[in-house]
Amino acid sequence: MPKKIAFSLIPKNRYSVLILVMAMSVVIVEAVEHSLLGESLFETHFLIEVLVFGAGLPLLAFIMLGIMEKVQAERDRALQDLDKHQAFDQELSQVRSLEDLVQRVVKFPSTVLPAAQSFLHLYEPDGSSFHLVADWGPGNGNLSHIETDLSLQECQICLKSNFSARSMRKCEALRPGQLRAGLDRYLIPLTYGNAYTGVLHLDVPEDVAISESQANTLSNLAPEMAIAIESLRLQQANLELSRATENERKRIAQDLHDTLGQSIAYLRFKLDHLSSQHPMVAIGVIRRDLDQMREMAETAYSQVRETLAKLHPSAQVDFLQALRTQLEQFRERVGLELILNSRGEPQQLPPHIQRQVLYICREVLNNVEKHAHASRLTFEVFFEAQELRIVMTDDGRGFDVKTVSSHRNYGITIMHERADSINGQITLFSSPGKGTQVTLRVPLAESLSAGVG
């Protein structure tokens, strides 16, 4: 429990001098009166008057003045605490970042009492522990030690399993060597309602007497600290959720372009081709085009189902198997020669990485179908120690890379965006009449360790 400062009942203002002067005056007047009447100064009546008017009443006045001074001092201290409370509340309301807030919270106790240092741990529900997020001290390096992570059970030893009690108290769960000599450690639970937010530890010199007012000031501010911290935590969580939602929208837009958009564009091209043909064109040609359109419609349907399934992912298909299926569907539709070679030990890719790589490969296939007029397409997949490398080469008519702007070609832009999202890199080589080669490099070790999906 906090130490209390004893308060003297002996007044220390100008009224004490006035009381002493009045008491001496009464004694002198009584002495003169008795002398003029010829009475002895040692009579019982005179001594009683001296004791009552010269000692008793002044002593009572001293006591009353002392009580009044104590009440006034407590009132002034309460007003100071209230002003400090309101100023700190206003300061908390103006903070906009969690990093700034925890620094202000951990430093505030030093403005109330002479703390040597302080530590702030915030509660992490996932691990049922308190994690150190900020500390404050004189900066001379001579600091006490405190654990980076404290378990809930460990903190409840000090709190007597009653974390909802917000009062400041002494910390009892200390290991040898944790506390520097000459210091006592106190803690203040930061809670609102029955929810944990954190715990604030203070190291105070042993010879410092902590008044009840100081302890109450810090204890009463604990809920405001907790609410401010939780509010900023919630704001940051909402901001991260908004960013994740925006990224997901962007990903879905890319997926629709690479799947349904490409298929519909192909069907529209075929319909335009059929509508522009002579009415007497051979029925075999029309039937062939209709068969190709039916296959593309089935592919589009499969792509939509695949996209919906990826929004609720379950078991992941092997990467090479998924790529082989994609290439086989393309070969059946287009009819050109496709070669797939794999080197190195195949590794399972995280879902997000695999999804982006497959979409990049699909975009390459779409570009080959639309523009290359190729007869053969080769995919070389290299599983290397540090990266996944895919080299896609066609023997088509090629083009001048310098004349193609990625800003005017949405497909190329999306390929680079997808590669950037997985820290990958795309290199494009082509020249008129010499085909095109697209190389995708993905840092394999980093992708596997990230494990995002």
DSSP-derived secondary structure for 200-260: EEEEEETTPPPPHHHHHHHHHHHHHHHHHHHHHHHHHHHHHHHHHHHHHHHHHHHHHIIII
Low-confidence winner among 211-215, 338-342, 442-446 (lowest mean pLDDT)? 442-446
**How many CB atoms neighbour CB 30 within 10 A?**
17
Predicted confidence (pLDDT) at residue 45 exceeds the cutoff of 70: no
Nearest Cα residue to 200 out of 159, 161, 233, 231 = 159
* Residues 323 and 445 grouped into a single domain: yes
Nearest Cα residue to 332 out of 285, 296, 380 = 296
In this predicted model, what pLDDT tens digit does every residue of 166-181 receive, in sequence order? 578 888 767 666 778 8
Q: Is residue 278 part of a domain?
A: no
Q: Is residue 305 part of a domain?
A: no
* Residues 74 and 116 grouped into a single domain: no
* Residues in CB range of 136: below 8 A, 6 or more apart: 103, 106, 107, 110, 117, 118, 119
Say which residue the tokens 């494009």 belong to. Answer: 428
Report the pLDDT value the prediction gives residue 453, as an integer from 0 to 100: 41
Q: Is 54 helix (H, G, I), strand (E, B) or coil?
A: helix
- pLDDT band of residue 85 (cuts 50, 70, 90) is low
Report the pLDDT value the prediction gives residue 407, as an integer from 0 to 100: 44
- pLDDT band of residue 424 (cuts 50, 70, 90) is very high
Report the pLDDT value the prediction gives residue 1, as an integer from 0 to 100: 43
Q: Mean pLDDT throughout 235-258?
A: 73
Range of the domain at 152: 100-236
**How many CB atoms neighbour CB 262 within 10 A?**
23
Q: Mean pLDDT throughout 185-198?
A: 82
In this predicted model, what pLDDT tens digit does every residue of 93-123 receive, in sequence order? 777 788 888 888 888 888 888 888 899 989 8
Highest mean pLDDT among 128-137, 282-291, 380-389: 380-389
* Residues 33 and 143 grouped into a single domain: no
* Residues 167 and 186 grouped into a single domain: yes
* Residues 44 and 152 grouped into a single domain: no
Report d(CA 135, CA 118) in Å as an integer. Answer: 6
Which of the two residues, 328 and 60, has the higher pLDDT score? 328
**Residue finishing a domain among 219, 236, 253:** 236
Highest mean pLDDT among 53-62, 75-84, 178-187: 178-187
Q: Is 364 helix (H, G, I), strand (E, B) or coil?
A: helix
Angle between helices 57-94 and 212-256 (to 10 degrees): 10
CATH of residue 447: 3.30.565.10
* Residues in CB range of 289: below 8 A, 6 or more apart: 270, 273, 274
Q: Is residue 255 part of a domain?
A: no
Report how many domains make up the chain: 3
Report the pLDDT value the prediction gives residue 361, as an integer from 0 to 100: 92
Predicted confidence (pLDDT) at residue 227 exceeds the cutoff of 70: yes
Q: What are phi and psi of 443, to 5 degrees?
A: -65, 105
* Residues in CB range of 254: below 8 A, 6 or more apart: 359, 414, 417, 418
**Residue finishing a domain among 94, 117, 135:** 94
Q: Classify each residue of 168-183 as buried b or exposed e, where b means 16 or more C-beta atoms within 10 Å of its C-beta.
A: bbebebeeeeebeeeb
Q: Is 400 helix (H, G, I), strand (E, B) or coil?
A: coil
Please give the model's pTM, rounded to 2 decimal places. 0.45
Say which residue the tokens 């999202």 belong to. Answer: 421
Q: Mean pLDDT throughout 277-289?
A: 63
CATH of residue 217: 3.30.450.40
Q: Classify each residue of 95-113 as buried b or exposed e, where b means 16 or more C-beta atoms within 10 Å of its C-beta.
A: beebeebbbbbbbbbbebb
Predicted confidence (pLDDT) at residue 4 exceeds the cutoff of 50: no
Q: Is residue 152 part of a domain?
A: yes
Report the pLDDT value the prediction gives residue 380, as an integer from 0 to 100: 96
Tokens (6 digits) for 169: 């108290």
Report the pLDDT value the prediction gives residue 393, as an integer from 0 to 100: 96
Its sign, for the CA torsion 317, 321, 327, 333, is negative
Predicted confidence (pLDDT) at residue 358 exceeds the cutoff of 80: yes
The DSSP element (H or E) to which 398 belongs, if any, is none
Which of the two residues, 344 and 48, has the higher pLDDT score? 344
Which of the two residues, 21 and 345, has the higher pLDDT score? 345
In this predicted model, what pLDDT tens digit does every residue of 294-345 receive, in sequence order? 777 767 666 666 666 555 544 456 889 889 988 988 888 788 899 999 999 9
Report the pLDDT value the prediction gives residue 89, as an integer from 0 to 100: 72
Q: What are phi and psi of 435, to 5 degrees?
A: 75, -175
Q: What is the rounded average pLDDT for all residues in the chain? A: 76
**Residues of the chain above pLDDT 70, percent:** 66
Strands 376-383 and 337-343: parallel
Q: Mean pLDDT throughout 258-275?
A: 66
* Residues 118 and 89 grouped into a single domain: no
Report the pLDDT value the prediction gives residue 383, as an integer from 0 to 100: 93
* Residues 51 and 126 grouped into a single domain: no
**Residue finishing a domain among 206, 236, 266:** 236
* Residues 209 and 230 grouped into a single domain: yes
Q: What are 316's strand-pairing partners?
A: none
